[in-house]
Amino acid sequence: MKEYPIERWHEKILNGMNIVLVNYFLSTKNFEGWLFSHKLFEEPLPGVSSTVYFFKRNTNDNDEAIRIDVIENNSIQDAERTFLFLLTDVMAPMEFPEAKNENVGEICYKGFSDIDSLLMFLRGNIVIRIRSIGQKEIAVLTEAKIIDKDLINQPGEKDHRQMQLKFDLTSPAQEVLKQLASNTEDALGKKVYFKIIAPDHSIELTRTGIINTGVSLPGNIILYAINEDGAAARVSLK
């Protein structure tokens, strides 16, 4: 039976960022030198959606290619369960080795290869699996770091724009959060995703609301709406 240190994972996560993303998508422009090939949608577990992106280096051959699974969970706790599923629902009888020095994600594991040709990591409610699938086995650490940076990045002032959404971002927090999952585009038809960041783990963020302890919200929960061009709107949830 495979035994992963779930308690240690949980402890590490509680000491890390409290971040939840809603309708997250990869910006294919972030992968310089790669050509986007196609994407698929999967449901690895009931109620858990995954978008799988494929890239190749050249149009004429399949020598270098990568696959990126982006699995968005309802909460960080759900992401831990999905991550465990990803690590255990394989034919190999032994545990994957932990990637301790790669500095990707809150928790990161790698495949059974001398190079980092497979990395699986968890960040907030998102589980990422990225791997080399071409004829030539290549390391994917650079691409994994790009994704992880994108997940935790807080858009700067230069990215802040007025963004027309189909709902009011200044409504009370729970009202705003209920709207996020069903809004995948802004009012101009640009794809949009949302990033919610709380200062610590004293409240539980989910894709559809905040589970709090009965006290008022800390007041410094930040919500970003980010569209496919990288433009971002920022509000403090009330």
Partner 1 sequence: SPQNPWTDALNYACTWAMLTQTRDEAAGKITLNVFNLGPSTFIYDCPGGGSSHYTGGSAFHCTQFIDRLKGGLGNGQYVNCTDCGTIVCSFSNLLGCDIWSSRMGGSYFDLNAINAIGYSNWISCGWPGFSYHEVAWKDNCTDADAIFDACLQVDGDANPATAPHSPLLPVNMIFGTCTSNEYRWRLSPPGASGCQACNPQPATRIRRSIT
Which residue, 62 or 154, has its beta carbon nearer to partner 1?
Answer: 62
Residue 147 found at the interface with partner 1 (CB under 8 A): no
Task: Report how far residue 113's alpha carbon sits from residue 226's, in angstroms, rounded to the nearest whole number.
Answer: 36
Task: Report how far residue 33's alpha carbon sits from residue 177's, in angstroms, rounded to the nearest whole number.
Answer: 36
Binds partner 1 (CB under 8 A): choice among 70, 134, 192, 206: 134
Residue 88 found at the interface with partner 1 (CB under 8 A): yes
Binds partner 1 (CB under 8 A): choice among 21, 56, 107, 138: 56
Which residue, 32 or 89, has its beta carbon nearer to partner 1?
Answer: 89
Give 41: exposed, middle or buried? Use CB within 10 Å, 0-12, 13-18, 19+: exposed
Residue 74 found at the interface with partner 1 (CB under 8 A): no
Residue 220 and residue 193 in contact, taking contact as beta carbons nearer than 8 Å: no
Query: Which region among 129-137, 188-196, 213-221, 229-237 touches partner 1 (by CB under 8 A)?
Result: 129-137
Q: Over 203-235, what HEC string results?
A: CEEECCEEECCCCCCCCCCEEEEEECCCCEEEE
Number of chain residues interacting with partner 1 (CB under 8 A): 35
Residue 51 found at the interface with partner 1 (CB under 8 A): no
- DSSP per position, 56-104: ES-SS--SSEEEEEEEE-SBHHHHHHHHHHHHHSSS-SSPPPB--SS--
Minimum CB separation from partner 1 for residue 83, in Å? 14
Residue ranges in contact with partner 1 by CB under 8 A:
1-2, 37-38, 40, 42-45, 50, 52, 54, 56, 62, 65, 67, 88-94, 96, 111-113, 117-118, 131-135, 137
